[in-house]
Amino acid sequence: QQQVKQSPQSLIVQKGGIPIINCAYENTAFDYFPWYQQFPGKGPALLIAIRPDVSEKKEGRFTISFNKSAKQFSLHIMDSQPGDSATYFCAASMNSGGGADGLTFGKGTHLIIQP
Protein backbone atom coordinates (compact mmCIF):
# COMPACT_ATOMS: atom_id res chain seq x y z
CA GLN A 1 0.00 0.00 0.00
CA GLN A 2 1.50 3.25 -1.17
CA GLN A 3 1.20 5.87 1.53
CA VAL A 4 2.64 8.77 -0.48
CA LYS A 5 1.35 9.32 -4.00
CA GLN A 6 3.45 11.51 -6.29
CA SER A 7 2.56 13.05 -9.64
CA PRO A 8 3.33 13.52 -12.42
CA GLN A 9 5.64 10.61 -13.19
CA SER A 10 7.54 12.76 -15.70
CA LEU A 11 7.59 16.44 -16.57
CA ILE A 12 9.18 18.56 -19.29
CA VAL A 13 9.48 22.32 -18.78
CA GLN A 14 11.21 25.06 -20.72
CA LYS A 15 14.10 26.89 -19.08
CA GLY A 16 12.79 29.65 -16.82
CA GLY A 17 9.45 27.91 -16.30
CA ILE A 18 8.07 26.74 -12.95
CA PRO A 19 7.74 22.96 -12.69
CA ILE A 20 5.27 21.84 -10.02
CA ILE A 21 5.37 18.37 -8.49
CA ASN A 22 2.55 17.18 -6.28
CA CYS A 23 2.30 14.65 -3.47
CA ALA A 24 -0.57 13.35 -1.39
CA TYR A 25 -0.39 11.33 1.78
CA GLU A 26 -2.85 9.23 3.77
CA ASN A 27 -1.27 8.76 7.18
CA THR A 28 -2.24 11.71 9.39
CA ALA A 29 0.58 10.79 11.77
CA PHE A 30 3.10 12.07 9.23
CA ASP A 31 4.54 15.37 10.45
CA TYR A 32 7.71 15.91 8.44
CA PHE A 33 7.78 16.25 4.65
CA PRO A 34 11.13 16.52 2.83
CA TRP A 35 11.90 16.71 -0.86
CA TYR A 36 14.93 15.02 -2.39
CA GLN A 37 16.73 15.48 -5.70
CA GLN A 38 18.53 12.56 -7.28
CA PHE A 39 20.88 12.54 -10.25
CA PRO A 40 21.67 9.29 -12.10
CA GLY A 41 24.13 7.14 -10.18
CA LYS A 42 23.93 9.32 -7.07
CA GLY A 43 22.12 9.13 -3.76
CA PRO A 44 19.15 11.41 -3.01
CA ALA A 45 20.12 14.92 -1.86
CA LEU A 46 17.93 16.78 0.63
CA LEU A 47 16.50 19.93 -0.96
CA ILE A 48 13.96 21.36 1.44
CA ALA A 49 11.59 20.12 4.12
CA ILE A 50 8.42 21.36 5.81
CA ARG A 51 6.43 20.61 8.93
CA PRO A 52 2.61 20.88 9.00
CA ASP A 53 2.51 23.98 11.19
CA VAL A 54 3.36 26.19 8.18
CA SER A 55 1.71 26.41 4.75
CA GLU A 56 4.73 27.46 2.72
CA LYS A 57 8.51 27.35 2.93
CA LYS A 58 11.07 28.84 0.55
CA GLU A 59 14.75 28.05 0.21
CA GLY A 60 16.43 29.70 -2.73
CA ARG A 61 14.55 28.75 -5.91
CA PHE A 62 12.66 25.90 -4.20
CA THR A 63 9.28 26.37 -2.52
CA ILE A 64 7.09 23.85 -0.72
CA SER A 65 3.37 24.51 -0.45
CA PHE A 66 1.53 22.48 2.19
CA ASN A 67 -2.21 21.89 2.58
CA LYS A 68 -2.84 20.01 5.80
CA SER A 69 -6.60 19.65 5.38
CA ALA A 70 -6.20 18.15 1.91
CA LYS A 71 -3.16 16.10 2.98
CA GLN A 72 -1.23 17.40 0.01
CA PHE A 73 2.06 19.16 -0.56
CA SER A 74 3.90 20.33 -3.63
CA LEU A 75 7.33 21.47 -4.81
CA HIS A 76 7.76 24.51 -7.05
CA ILE A 77 11.07 25.29 -8.74
CA MET A 78 11.40 28.94 -9.69
CA ASP A 79 13.43 30.06 -12.73
CA SER A 80 14.21 26.44 -13.61
CA GLN A 81 17.54 25.64 -15.28
CA PRO A 82 18.78 22.67 -17.34
CA GLY A 83 20.93 21.72 -14.33
CA ASP A 84 17.72 21.09 -12.38
CA SER A 85 17.00 18.11 -14.64
CA ALA A 86 16.85 15.17 -12.22
CA THR A 87 14.44 12.86 -10.45
CA TYR A 88 12.60 14.42 -7.53
CA PHE A 89 11.13 12.48 -4.63
CA CYS A 90 8.74 13.63 -1.98
CA ALA A 91 8.80 11.81 1.34
CA ALA A 92 7.05 11.77 4.69
CA SER A 93 7.83 10.57 8.16
CA MET A 94 6.59 10.68 11.75
CA ASN A 95 7.97 12.11 14.96
CA SER A 96 9.35 15.22 13.25
CA GLY A 97 11.62 13.12 11.08
CA GLY A 98 13.14 11.20 13.96
CA GLY A 99 10.69 8.31 13.86
CA ALA A 100 11.85 4.71 13.79
CA ASP A 101 9.72 3.99 10.71
CA GLY A 102 12.06 5.91 8.44
CA LEU A 103 11.01 7.95 5.43
CA THR A 104 8.17 6.88 3.15
CA PHE A 105 8.94 7.98 -0.39
CA GLY A 106 6.81 8.71 -3.42
CA LYS A 107 7.67 6.98 -6.70
CA GLY A 108 9.49 10.00 -8.08
CA THR A 109 9.13 12.55 -10.87
CA HIS A 110 11.59 12.61 -13.74
CA LEU A 111 12.03 16.30 -14.55
CA ILE A 112 13.62 17.59 -17.75
CA ILE A 113 14.32 21.30 -18.20
CA GLN A 114 14.79 22.10 -21.86
CA PRO A 115 17.24 24.90 -22.80
Q: Which residues make up the interface to another protein (CB under 8 A)?
A: 6, 32, 34, 36, 41-46, 49, 89, 91, 93, 96-108
User: Among 112, 70, 71, 68, which residue's Cα sits nearest to residue 88?
Assistant: 112
5: Cα separation from own chain's centroid: 11
Residue closer to another protein by CB (options 36, 77) is 36
Q: In whole angstroms, how close is the CB of 15 to another protein at the nearest point?
A: 26
Residue closer to another protein by CB (options 18, 46) is 46
| Residue 92 CB contacts under 8 Å (≥ 6 apart), including other chains | 3, 4, 23, 25, 27, 30, 32, 33, 103, 104
Q: In whole angstroms, how close is the CB of 100 to another protein at the nearest point?
A: 3
Residue closer to another protein by CB (options 28, 115) is 28
Judged by DSSP in three states, 71 sits in coil
Q: In whole angstroms, how close is the CB of 6 to another protein at the nearest point?
A: 8
